Amino acid sequence: MSRPIVVVTRRVPGVLDIPGAEVRLGPDAIAPRAATLERIRGASIVVTMFSDKVNAEFLDAAGPGLRGVCNFAVGVDNIDLPECRRRGVVVANTPHAVTEGTADIAWALLLATARRVVEGHEYIRSGAFSANGTLGMADFMGRDLTGRTLCIVGAGRIGQAVAMRSIGWGMRVLYVARSMHWEFELAPLAARRVTLEEGLREADVVSLHTPLTPETRHLINAERLAMMKPTAILINTARGPVIDEAALARALRAGTLWGAGLDVFEREPEVHPELLGLPNVTLTPHIGSAEVRYREMMTQMVRENAMAMLAGRAPACVVA
Catalytic residue list: 239, 268, 286
Report which residue type is found at 8.
V
Residue (148 or 209) nearer to ligand 8YV, CB: 209
Query: Which residues lie closer than 8 Å to 157 by C-beta, 6 or more apart?
Result: 95, 96, 99
What x-and-dash track marks residues 56-95 binding ligand 8YV by CB under 6 A? ----------------xxxx--------------------
CB of 42 to ligand 8YV, least distance (A): 23
Label each residue of 110-128 as H, E or C.
Answer: HHHHHCCHHHHHHHHHCCH
- Three-state SS at 153: strand
Q: CA 134 to CA 78: how far, in whole Å? A: 49
CB of 295 to ligand 8YV, least distance (A): 8
Residue (181 or 295) nearer to ligand 8YV, CB: 295
Residue (75 or 199) nearer to ligand 8YV, CB: 75
Residue (107 or 258) nearer to ligand 8YV, CB: 107
CB of 262 to ligand 8YV, least distance (A): 13
Helices (H) and strands (E) in the chain, counts: 13, 12
Q: CA 85 to CA 76: how far, in whole Å? A: 14
Q: CA 132 to CA 42: how far, in whole Å? A: 63
Residue (278 or 287) nearer to ligand 8YV, CB: 287
| 90, containing H or E segment | strand 90-92
Minimal CA–CA distance to 302: which of 72, 39, 26, 13?
72
Among 46, 62, 91, 98, binds ligand 8YV (CB under 6 A): 98
CB of 215 to ligand 8YV, least distance (A): 18
Residue (75 or 251) nearer to ligand 8YV, CB: 75
| 158, containing H or E segment | helix 157-165
Please list the alpha-helical segments (H only) found in 5-147: 33-39, 56-62, 81-87, 99-114, 117-125, 128-132
Considering only residues 274 to 293 of the shown chain, the ones binding ligand 8YV according to CB under 6 A are 286, 288-290
Among 5, 7, 9, 50, binds ligand 8YV (CB under 6 A): 50
Asked whether position 240 contacts ligand 8YV by CB under 6 A, the answer is no
Cβ atoms within 10 Å of 212's Cβ, excluding its own: 19
Footprint of ligand 8YV on this chain (CB under 6 A)? 49-50, 72-75, 98, 286, 288-290
